[in-house]
């Protein structure tokens, strides 16, 4: 019997998550390769003129140009969609290409967007600076307070945009409440799920309409390429996202898609182990630093909500010390953990958001979203937990903690 290759939804949807991550979307060529093929091609050829005419008319499936579709990228899109439990997915050049496409493809002059104040720096830039330039009104709220979402709704509100957990304060949004509220007002929810990924949290199970990703982070998982993805219903992807994407071109390169495809095969394992390491390391330093921001710890005000929505709490947490000088002293004393602003990597990385990822937004916006001068964010990797504990113990000690 011929083995299924992973493109038949009637088969792949019956697969359990681990099987989807390994085999979902695999599209074998006539050579029967085991690993997904890397199609480095911008264009395609046709046997005759009628064929190409039929493809351009949409009467015949098949590739026409890699800004519209590429076999390697299509494999990634199918695998991400399956893992997410989404009808459709389109890969993007980066996480920010994904967020920009998810917002600009559906918002127009006169529309209103409500966004979480705690967010990745560039996500805040989209909301604070880009959307208003096109006459799109925005309101930024404390996303952890359900009533603030309700209060911010106007007759022209079209989109809710947020991360959960948020970067770098680990604020949690009540997915059931916020997505339910949006639905009852005809508002589209766009959830940036980069910190958790589908391995740990599937927002569509709570009613989210659109899930957008930086695949640069946990999906790649080894700090190699930039990539992104937008997931949604087939109708939304085809009618809202695709006209924007096909004509503006924020596409994922086939090579980057191939790297992320390989990353997805181990995503579940990495996400669970890194979450376990992050929880152990958080417990190890809690009590020794003035403030912890870790959704997996009882001290996090939204711990119960995080436990309800997430299978595990992810590799990233933050903690606060008294000021920039001490935060920088900790970074400088680390011997194993690298100073780096990337996240999701198998290597442990620490950064000081106020002087890096959140520097450009200015002091006022930082204060409003809780990014203090003493805040440090760590991505906990796959190293031995005892080595990580020793390194933090040494670094905190050197900084007088
Ligand atoms: C990194 C990140 C982004 C941007 O992704 P890029 O791939 O760097 O463009 C967006 N949102 C969140 C939450 C992120 O962590």
Domain match, 203 and 339 both: no
Q: 79-99 pLDDT, tens per residue?
A: 999 999 999 999 999 999 999
Q: Are 95 and 213 in contact (CB under 8 A)?
A: yes
What is the pLDDT, as a whole number, of residue 330? 98
Strand 210-214 and strand 88-92: pairing?
A: unpaired
Q: Looking at residues 149-154, what average pLDDT do you find?
A: 98
The confidence score (pLDDT) of residue 156 equals 98
Tell me which residue of 119, 100, 333, 310 sits closest to 198, measured CA to CA: 310
Which amino acid residue places its CA nearest to atom 6 of ligand 1? Answer: 95
- Residue 105, pLDDT > 60, answer yes
* Residue numbers of the domain that contains 340: 268-398
Is residue 208 in contact with ligand 1, taking CB distance under 6 Å?
Answer: no
My answer on whether 122 and 11 are in the same domain is yes
Pairwise CA distance, residues 17 & 198, whole Å: 9
Q: What is the per-residue pLDDT for 181?
A: 98
Q: Which atom of ligand 1 is nearest to the CA of 97?
A: 9
Give the total residue count for the chain. Answer: 401
Percent of the chain with pLDDT over 90: 93
Nearest atom in ligand 1 to the alpha carbon of residue 194 is 13
Of 91, 92, 95, the residue with max ligand 1 atoms within 8 A of its CB, to mutate for a pocket test, comes to: 95
pLDDT(6) > 90: no
- Does the model's pTM come out above 0.85? yes
- CATH code, domain carrying 330: 3.90.1150.10
Domain ends where: 235, 264, 293? 264
Q: Are 5 and 32 in contact (CB under 8 A)?
A: no
Provide the pLDDT for residue 102: 98
pLDDT band at residue 369 under the 50/70/90 scheme: confident
Sign of the Cα pseudo-torsion (293, 295, 299, 300, in order): positive
pLDDT at 67: 95
DSSP 286: B
Q: Is the pLDDT of residue 70 over 60?
A: yes
Which tokens go with 86?
A: 């989404």
Does pLDDT of 133 surpass 70? Answer: yes
pLDDT of residue 4 exceeding 70: no
- Residue 174 shares a structural domain with residue 290: no
Q: Which of 238, 264, 290 is the last residue of a domain?
A: 264
Query: Atom 9 (ligand 1): residue with closest C-alpha?
Result: 95
CA–CA dist 94, 71 (Å, integer): 19
Name the residue of 116, 165, 167, 210 to mutate for ligand 1: max ligand atoms within 8 A of Cβ.
167
The answer on 233 and 283 residing in a single domain is no
**Residue 246 shares a structural domain with residue 332:** no
Does a cis peptide bond (omega within 30 degrees of 0) precede residue 306?
A: no
Q: Specify whether 314 is located in the same domain as 177.
A: no
Of the residues 264, 289, 321, the one at which a domain ends: 264
- Residue 223 makes CB contacts below 8 A (sequence gap 6+) with 342, 344, 345, 346, 347
Residue 1 has pLDDT above 60, yes or no: no
Domain total of the chain: 2
CATH number for the domain spanning 198: value is: 3.40.640.10
**pLDDT reported for residue 103:** 98
Ligand 1 centroid distance, CA of 214 (Å): 5
Q: Which residue's CA lies nearest to atom 2 of ligand 1? A: 214
Q: Are residues 37 and 81 in the same domain?
A: yes
237 and 303 in a single domain? The answer is no
The DSSP secondary-structure symbol of 53 reads: H
Q: What is the pLDDT of residue 2?
A: 61
* 150 has pLDDT over 60: yes
Based on the fold, state whether residues 209 and 94 are members of the same structural domain: yes
In this model, does residue 3 exceed pLDDT 90?
A: no
Q: Judge if 40 and 85 occupy the same domain.
A: yes
172, 309 Cβ separation under 8 angstroms: yes
Co-location of 260 and 276 in the same domain: no
Q: What is the mean pLDDT of the chain?
A: 96
Is the Cα torsion angle 97, 99, 102, 104 positive or negative in sign? Answer: negative
Average pLDDT over residues 351-373: 91
Name the DSSP class of 289: B
On whether both 187 and 319 belong to a single domain, the answer is no
Q: What is the DSSP string of 313-342?
A: --SEEEEE-SSHHHHHHHHHH-SSSEE-S-
3-state secondary structure 221-247: CCCCCCCEEEEECHHHHHHHHHHHHHH
**In whole angstroms, what separates CA 277 from the centre of its chain?**
20
Q: Is the bond preceding residue 168 a cis peptide, omega within 30 degrees?
A: yes
């Amino acid at each position: 019997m011929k083995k299924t290759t992973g493109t038949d939804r009637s088969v792949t949807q019956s697969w359990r998550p681990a099987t989807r991550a390994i085999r979902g979307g695999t599209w074998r060529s006539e050579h029967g390769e085991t690993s997904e093929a890397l199609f480095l091609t911008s264009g395609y050829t046709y046997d005759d003129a009628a064929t190409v005419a039929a493809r351009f008319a949409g009467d015949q499936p098949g590739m026409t140009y890699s800004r519209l579709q590429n076999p390697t990228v299509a494999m990634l899109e199918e695998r991400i969609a399956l893992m997410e439990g989404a009808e459709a997915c389109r890969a993007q050049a980066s996480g920010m290409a994904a967020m920009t496409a998810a917002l600009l493809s559906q918002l127009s002059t006169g529309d209103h967007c409500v966004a979480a104040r705690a967010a990745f720096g560039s996500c805040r830039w989209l909301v604070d600076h880009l959307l208003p330039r096109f006459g799109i009104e925005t309101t930024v709220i404390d996303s952890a307070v359900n009533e603030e979402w309700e209060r911010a709704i106007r007759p022209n509100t079209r989109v809710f945009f947020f991360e959960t957990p948020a970067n770098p304060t680990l604020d949690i949004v009540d997915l059931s409440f916020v997505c339910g509220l949006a639905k009852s007002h005809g508002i589209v929810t766009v959830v940036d799920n980069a910190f958790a990924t589908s391995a740990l949290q599937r927002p569509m199970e709570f009613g989210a309409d659109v899930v957008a990703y930086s695949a640069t982070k946990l999906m790649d998982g080894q700090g190699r390429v930039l990539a992104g993805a937008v997931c949604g219903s087939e109708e939304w992807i085809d009618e809202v996202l695709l006209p924007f994407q096909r004509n503006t071109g924020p596409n994922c390169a086939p090579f980057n898609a191939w790297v992320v495809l390989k990353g997805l095969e181990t995503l579940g394992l990495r996400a669970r182990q890194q979450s376990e390491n992050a929880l152990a390391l958080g417990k190890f330093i809690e009590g020794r630093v003035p403030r912890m921001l870790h959704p997996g710890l009882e001290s996090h005000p939204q711990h119960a909500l995080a436990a309800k929505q997430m299978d595990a709490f992810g590799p990233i947490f933050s903690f606060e010390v008294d000021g920039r000088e001490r935060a920088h002293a900790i970074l400088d004393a680390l011997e194993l953990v690298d100073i780096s602003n990337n996240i999701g990597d198998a290597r442990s990385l620490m950064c000081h958001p106020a002087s890096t990822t959140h520097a450009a937004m200015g002091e006022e916006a930082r204060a409003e979203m809780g990014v203090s001068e003493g805040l440090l964010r760590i991505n906990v990797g796959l190293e031995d937990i005892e080595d990580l504990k020793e390194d933090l113990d040494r670094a905190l000690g050197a900084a007088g903690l």
